[in-house]
C-alpha cells in the first residue's frame, strides 16, 4: 500500500523515518470529498494565519522588552527604528483579529453543517481546545505593549479569578506574582504568550490527525461511501486553498496597510498608568460577545461561570444536538435557528462594546439567555420534532440538482 | 421569510442604536491629505507644523519619540537637521569621571522634553501634566479631527448656565467641556517663516498635520508599499483562480 519513492535517497530515508510518506498522505493523496465549498477553506486559512503569527511574533520578540518601564518604548522602537518593524507589528496585531475572524467562521461552518456529530466529536473537541488556547494567547499578547488598555484589560481579567470562593484572592496574587499587576506579571505573560502558540501547533497537529482518521465532513453532511465521491487532496484542494490564501491576503493586506489601527483601541497608544482608569474598559472586538455574557450577570462568580460555560458548552454539543441529520441543508427549521443564533452572537458582541447600563444591560441579558437556550433547549427538542428533508444517498444526487456534473 | 425576519431585526437594531446614541458634538472634519489610499503628507504644512510646535507647544509638551534625523521626511537636508539639533542641549553621561554632562544635540537624539519627567511636569501644572505629543493623534478616537476641533473651539465666555472653575477654560470638545490648557494658538500667535497667513484654521491644520506625521511617520511608505502589495496579490489571486478552474475541469468533465 505504501508507495515507494523513486528517488533513492528519499526512499532510503523514508524507510527509516517515514516523514515523506506521512506528508504525502496528508497533503497529496488524502482522499477528500469532492463537493467541499468555499467554507471549507477556513481550516487551511487558520493554519496559515497561525504560521504568520508565529513567524511575525518571533521577529517581534527579538526587539521587544518585557519590562514595565521599557515595554511601551520598545514597541515604539519597533514601529519607528526597526527596519519594516511597523509592517511586522501591524501584521501581528491585525493578524490576531484575522485569526479570530477565520476561526469564528470555521466554527460557524462546523455548526451549520453539523461537523461536530459522530464520528467527529474528538475532532470538534480539539478545535474547541485550540479556540480556548487562542483566547488565552490573544489576551496575554494584548497586555504586552503595556498601553492603557493592555494594563486595564489585564486588571479586569486577572481579577476574575478572585470570584473563586475562599482561595480567589490567593490565586490572583499567585497569578500576578504580586499584589498588583507589575513587572512579574508582564514577564510571566510574555513567557506564556511565547509558549502557548507552540501548544496550539501541537493541538492543531492532533486536530489534523483526527481529521484524517474520520475524514472531512461535506456540505451534504452524509457519510461518503463511494470511491468516486472523493478526490486526492492534491492538486484539487491545494490549488483551492492557495486561491483562498490569495483572497485572504488581500483582505489582510487592506487592514495592515490602510487600516492598521481600526481594529484596536486608541487608548493603547497611551502608556499604562496604574493611577488613571480609562473611561470604559473594553476588550478587543473578538472577545466582546463573551465579555457581554460576563457582564450580563450581576453576580461575579455566576458571570465568570456563564462566560466559561458559553464556550465549554460546545464540548457537549454533539450530544445536545439530538438530530441524526448533520447538514443544515436538510434541516429547514434548524437552519433558521442557526441564523438567529449567529445574529444573537453578533448582538452580544455589539452590547459587549457598550457600557452595561439601562437598555444595553437588558439586551445583553436577553441575548445571554437566548445563547444558552439555543444549546440547552432548542437543539435537543428540535432533534426530536424537526421534520428533516430526505437525505441523498450520495453526493452526486444532491449535486445534480444544482450543477449538471458527472453525467 | 427569513430575509424579512432579518430585515425587521436589523431595522430594530439600527433604530435602538440611534435612540441610545449619546448626544455628541460633531467633529469639524477636515480634508486631510494623508487620509485615503493615496494619502500623502504635504511637506510645507509639516514644516509649518514643526515651527508651531517649536515656538508654541514645546513650552509645555514633549515629543520624546521623535528623532531629529526623522525630520528628513519633512524635506530638510542633513545639514539643516544637524544645525537644528545643535541648538538643543542634551544631558548625557556618565563620562569617565562618573559625571553627567551637557552636550549639543545630534541628529540621532530625540526631541528634548520641557520637563525631566512626568512628576516635574505635574508639579509645575498643579497635578495635571501636558501629555507627550508623539503619539497623540493615534491615542485619541478620530485623533486629527478631534485635535483640530479642540484647537479651534475655545470659547471665551461659556454658555450662561455653565459654571467654569477658575483656571480652567471652556471648550465644548473636551471631556466635561473644560480643559486646563489655555488656548495655545490664535490668529497670528506666530509669524510663519514662509509667510503664510497664520490664522487659527491654518495654524490648527498645520499642527495637526505635524502631529499626525509624528505619530505615524511610516504612513507614506506604508501606503505606497500597500498599493504595490495589493496589486501583486490581486494579480496572483486571479492567476490562482484561473489555475484552479483549469485543474478542476479535469474532474468536472
In this structure, the number of other CB atoms found within 10 A of the CB of residue A257 comes to 21
How far apart, in whole angstroms, are the C-alpha atoms of residue A118 and residue A325? 11
Contact A205, A377 (CB under 8 A): no
Q: Do B135 and A76 touch (CB under 8 A)?
A: yes
- CATH code, domain with A301: 1.10.287
B199 to chain A, closest Cα gap in Å? 30
A219-264: pLDDT as tens digits = 999 999 888 899 999 999 999 999 999 999 999 999 999 999 999 9
Q: Do A249 and B241 touch (CB under 8 A)?
A: no
Residue A313: inside a domain: yes
pLDDT for residue B14: 59
**Position A407 confidence tier, pLDDT thresholds 50, 70, 90:** very low
| Chain A interface, Cβ < 8 Å to B | 34, 76, 79-80, 86-87, 90, 231, 235-236, 239-240, 242-243, 246-247, 249-250, 253-254, 256-258, 260-261, 266-267, 269-270, 336, 339, 343, 347, 350, 354, 358-360, 363, 405-406
Residue A249: inside a domain: no
Residue numbers in A near B134 (CB within 8 A): 76
Q: What are phi and psi of A389, to 5 degrees?
A: -75, 160
Q: Do A254 and B217 touch (CB under 8 A)?
A: no
How far apart, in whole angstroms, are the C-alpha atoms of residue A236 and residue B77? 56
Residue A346: inside a domain: yes
pLDDT for residue B126: 81
Least confident of A112-121, A309-318, B172-181, B207-216: B172-181
Contact B2, A336 (CB under 8 A): yes
Tell me what the mean pLDDT of segment A69-92 comes to: 97
B40 to chain A, closest Cα gap in Å? 12
Residue numbers in A near B9 (CB within 8 A): 343
A83 DSSP 8-state letter: T
Residue-averaged pLDDT of chain A = 94
Domain, as residue range, for A358:
286-393
Any residues with CB less than 8 A from the CB of A69 and at least 6 apart, and which? none
**Position A4 confidence tier, pLDDT thresholds 50, 70, 90:** confident
B209-226: pLDDT as tens digits = 999 999 999 999 999 999
Q: Does B56 touch chain A (CB under 8 A)?
A: no
Using the predicted structure, report yes or no on whether residue B22 has a pLDDT greater than 60. Answer: no
How far apart, in whole angstroms, are the C-alpha atoms of residue A189 and residue A160? 16
Q: Do B226 and A246 touch (CB under 8 A)?
A: no
Contact A310, A293 (CB under 8 A): yes
Least confident of A30-44, A253-267, B1-15: B1-15
Q: Does B233 touch chain A (CB under 8 A)?
A: yes
In this structure, the number of other CB atoms found within 10 A of the CB of residue A186 comes to 24
pLDDT for residue A106: 98
Residue A311: inside a domain: yes
Crossing angle of helices A85-112 and A71-80, rounded to 10°? 100
A264-286 burial, b for 16+ CB within 10 Å, e for fewer?
bbbbbbbbbeeeeebeebbbbbb
Total residue count of chain A as it appears in this document: 407
Closest CB to B230 among A90, A253, A336: A253
Contact A120, A223 (CB under 8 A): no
- In the three-class reduction of DSSP (H, G, I as helix; E, B as strand; rest coil), residue A271 is classed as strand
pLDDT over 70, % of chain A: 97
> Cis before residue A119, ω within 30 degrees of 0?
yes
Q: Do B138 and A339 touch (CB under 8 A)?
A: no
In this structure, the number of other CB atoms found within 10 A of the CB of residue B45 comes to 21
Interface test with B, best of A85, A235, A241, A246 (most B CBs within 10 A): A246
Any residues with CB less than 8 A from the CB of A95 and at least 6 apart, and which? A49, A52, A53, A56, A252
**Position A371 confidence tier, pLDDT thresholds 50, 70, 90:** very high
Contact B68, B137 (CB under 8 A): no
Residue numbers in A near B233 (CB within 8 A): 246, 249-250, 253
Residue A42: inside a domain: no
Q: Do A260 and B222 touch (CB under 8 A)?
A: yes
**Position B156 confidence tier, pLDDT thresholds 50, 70, 90:** confident
Tell me what the mean pLDDT of segment A118-133 comes to: 97
Contact A232, A152 (CB under 8 A): no
Residue A302: inside a domain: yes
**Position A320 confidence tier, pLDDT thresholds 50, 70, 90:** very high
Crossing angle of helices A332-352 and A85-112, rounded to 10°? 150
pLDDT for residue A347: 97
Q: Do B135 and A269 touch (CB under 8 A)?
A: yes
What does the DSSP assignment read for B171-209? -TTSGGGEESS-----TTSS--TT-----HHHHHHHHHH
pTM reported for the whole predicted model: 0.93
B27 to chain A, closest Cα gap in Å? 17
pLDDT for residue A279: 85
B188 to chain A, closest Cα gap in Å? 32
pLDDT for residue A1: 46
**Position A395 confidence tier, pLDDT thresholds 50, 70, 90:** confident
Find the DSSP H helices in B125-168: 136-139, 143-151
**Position B127 confidence tier, pLDDT thresholds 50, 70, 90:** confident
Using the predicted structure, report yes or no on whether residue B153 has a pLDDT greater than 70. Answer: yes
Using the predicted structure, report yes or no on whether residue B107 has a pLDDT greater than 80. Answer: yes
Least confident of A22-36, A191-205, B117-131: B117-131
Residue-averaged pLDDT of chain B = 90
What does the DSSP assignment read for B91-104? EE---TTS--EEEE
- The helix or strand, by DSSP H or E, that contains position A384, with its residue range, turns out to be helix A379-385
Find the DSSP H helices in chain B: 2-20, 43-55, 78-86, 118-124, 136-139, 143-151, 200-215, 219-252
B179 to chain A, closest Cα gap in Å? 17
Find the DSSP H helices in A37-120: 42-61, 71-80, 85-112
Burial (0-12, 13-18, 19+ Cβ within 10 Å), A110: buried
Q: Do A270 and B2 touch (CB under 8 A)?
A: no
Residue numbers in B near A363 (CB within 8 A): 16
Give the strand pairing for A31-33 and A230-232. Answer: antiparallel
- Please choose, from the candidates A238, A217, A195, the residue with its C-alpha nearest in 3D space to the C-alpha of residue A48: A238
How far apart, in whole angstroms, are the C-alpha atoms of residue A378 and residue A317? 12
pLDDT over 90, % of chain B: 75
Residue numbers in A near B138 (CB within 8 A): 261, 266, 269
Using the predicted structure, report yes or no on whether residue B5 has a pLDDT greater than 80. Answer: no
How many inter-chain contacts (A to B, CB under 8 Å) are there?
A: 94
Using the predicted structure, report yes or no on whether residue A385 has a pLDDT greater than 80. Answer: yes
Q: Which chain B residue is nearest to residue A149, measuring alpha carbons?
A: B139
Residue A277: inside a domain: no
Q: How many CA atoms lie within 13 A of B221 on its CB side?
A: 12
Count up the domains in chain A and report the number. 1
pLDDT for residue B205: 97
Q: Do B218 and A76 touch (CB under 8 A)?
A: no
Residue A201: inside a domain: no
Using the predicted structure, report yes or no on whether residue B251 has a pLDDT greater than 70. Answer: yes
Using the predicted structure, report yes or no on whether residue A406 has a pLDDT greater than 50. Answer: no
Tell me what the mean pLDDT of segment B58-80 comes to: 95
- In the three-class reduction of DSSP (H, G, I as helix; E, B as strand; rest coil), residue B112 is classed as coil
B201 to chain A, closest Cα gap in Å? 25
Amino acid at each position: 500500500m505504501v508507495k515507494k519513492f523513486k528517488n533513492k535517497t528519499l526512499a532510503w530515508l523514508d524507510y527509516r523515518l517515514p516523514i515523506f510518506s506521512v506528508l504525502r498522505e496528508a497533503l497529496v493523496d488524502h482522499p477528500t470529498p469532492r463537493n467541499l465549498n468555499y467554507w471549507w477553506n477556513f481550516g487551511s486559512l487558520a493554519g496559515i494565519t497561525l504560521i504568520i503569527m508565529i513567524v511575525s511574533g518571533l521577529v517581534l520578540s527579538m526587539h521587544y522588552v518585557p519590562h514595565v518601564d521599557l515595554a511601551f518604548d520598545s514597541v515604539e522602537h519597533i514601529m519607528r527604528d526597526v527596519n519594516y518593524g511597523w509592517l511586522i507589528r501591524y501584521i501581528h496585531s491585525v493578524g490576531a483579529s484575522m485569526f479570530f475572524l477565520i476561526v469564528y467562521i470555521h466554527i460557524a461552518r462546523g455548526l451549520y453543517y453539523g461537523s461536530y456529530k459522530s464520528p467527529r466529536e474528538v475532532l470538534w473537541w480539539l478545535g474547541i481546545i485550540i479556540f480556548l488556547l487562542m483566547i488565552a494567547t490573544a489576551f496575554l499578547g494584548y497586555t504586552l505593549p503595556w498601553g492603557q488598555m493592555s494594563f486595564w484589560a489585564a486588571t479586569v481579567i486577572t481579577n476574575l479569578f478572585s470570584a473563586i470562593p475562599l482561595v480567589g484572592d490567593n490565586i490572583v496574587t499567585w497569578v500576578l506574582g504580586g499584589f498588583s499587576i507589575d513587572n512579574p506579571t508582564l514577564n510571566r505573560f510574555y513567557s506564556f504568550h511565547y509558549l502557548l502558540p507552540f501548544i496550539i501547533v501541537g493541538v492543531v497537529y492532533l486536530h489534523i490527525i483526527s481529521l484524517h482518521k474520520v475524514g472531512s465532513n461535506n456540505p451534504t453532511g452524509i457519510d461518503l461511501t463511494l470511491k468516486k465521491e472523493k478526490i486526492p487532496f492534491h492538486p484539487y484542494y491545494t490549488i483551492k486553498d492557495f486561491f483562498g490564501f490569495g483572497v485572504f491576503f488581500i483582505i489582510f493586506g487592506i487592514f495592515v496597510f490602510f487600516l492598521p489601527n481600526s481594529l484596536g483601541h486608541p487608548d493603547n497608544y497611551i502608556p499604562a498608568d496604574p493611577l488613571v482608569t480609562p473611561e470604559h474598559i473594553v476588550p478587543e472586538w473578538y472577545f466582546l460577545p463573551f465579555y457581554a455574557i460576563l457582564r450580563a450577570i450581576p453576580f461575579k462568580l455566576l458571570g465568570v461561570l456563564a462566560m466559561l460555560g458559553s464556550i465549554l458548552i460546545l464540548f457537549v454539543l454533539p450530544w445536545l444536538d439530538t438530530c441524526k441529520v448533520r447538514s443544515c441543508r436538510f434541516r429547514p427549521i434548524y437552519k433558521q435557528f442557526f441564523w438567529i443564533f449567529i445574529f444573537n452572537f453578533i448582538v452580544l458582541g455589539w452590547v459587549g462594546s457598550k457600557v452595561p447600563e439601562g437598555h444595553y444591560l437588558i439586551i445583553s441579558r436577553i441575548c445571554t439567555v437566548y445563547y444558552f437556550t439555543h444549546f440547552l433547549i432548542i437543539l435537543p427538542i428540535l432533534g426530536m420534532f424537526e421534520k428533516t428533508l430526505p437525505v441523498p444517498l450520495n453526493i452526486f444526487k444532491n449535486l445534480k440538482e444544482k450543477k449538471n456534473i458527472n453525467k | 421569510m427569513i430575509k424579512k425576519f432579518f430585515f425587521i431585526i436589523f431595522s430594530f437594531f439600527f433604530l435602538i442604536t440611534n435612540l441610545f446614541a449619546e448626544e455628541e458634538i460633531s467633529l469639524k472634519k477636515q480634508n486631510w491629505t494623508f487620509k485615503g489610499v493615496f494619502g500623502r503628507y504635504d511637506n510645507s504644512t509639516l514644516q509649518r507644523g514643526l515651527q508651531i510646535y517649536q515656538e508654541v507647544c514645546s513650552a509645555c509638551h514633549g515629543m520624546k519619540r521623535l528623532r531629529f534625523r526623522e525630520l528628513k521626511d519633512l524635506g530638510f537636508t542633513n545639514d539643516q537637521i544637524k544645525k537644528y539639533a545643535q541648538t538643543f542641549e542634551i544631558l548625557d553621561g556618565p563620562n569617565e569621571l562618573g559625571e553627567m554632562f551637557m552636550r549639543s544635540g545630534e541628529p540621532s537624539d530625540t526631541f528634548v522634553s520641557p520637563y525631566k519627567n512626568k512628576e516635574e511636569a505635574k508639579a509645575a501644572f498643579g497635578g495635571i501634566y501636558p501629555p507627550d505629543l508623539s503619539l497623540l493623534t493615534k491615542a485619541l478616537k478620530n485623533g486629527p479631527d478631534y485635535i483640530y476641533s479642540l484647537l479651534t473651539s475655545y470659547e471665551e465666555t461659556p454658555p450662561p448656565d455653565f459654571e467654569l472653575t477658575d483656571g480652567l477654560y471652556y471648550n465644548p470638545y473636551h471631556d466635561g467641556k473644560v480643559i486646563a490648557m489655555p488656548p495655545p494658538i490664535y490668529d497670528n500667535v506666530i509669524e510663519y517663516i514662509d509667510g503664510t497667513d497664520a490664522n487659527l484654521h491654518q495654524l490648527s491644520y498645520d499642527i495637526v498635520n505635524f502631529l499626525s506625521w509624528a505619530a505615524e511617520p511610516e504612513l507614506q511608505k506604508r501606503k505606497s508599499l500597500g498599493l504595490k502589495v495589493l496589486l501583486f496579490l490581486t494579480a496572483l489571486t486571479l492567476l490562482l483562480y484561473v489555475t484552479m478552474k483549469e485543474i478542476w475541469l479535469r474532474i468536472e468533465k
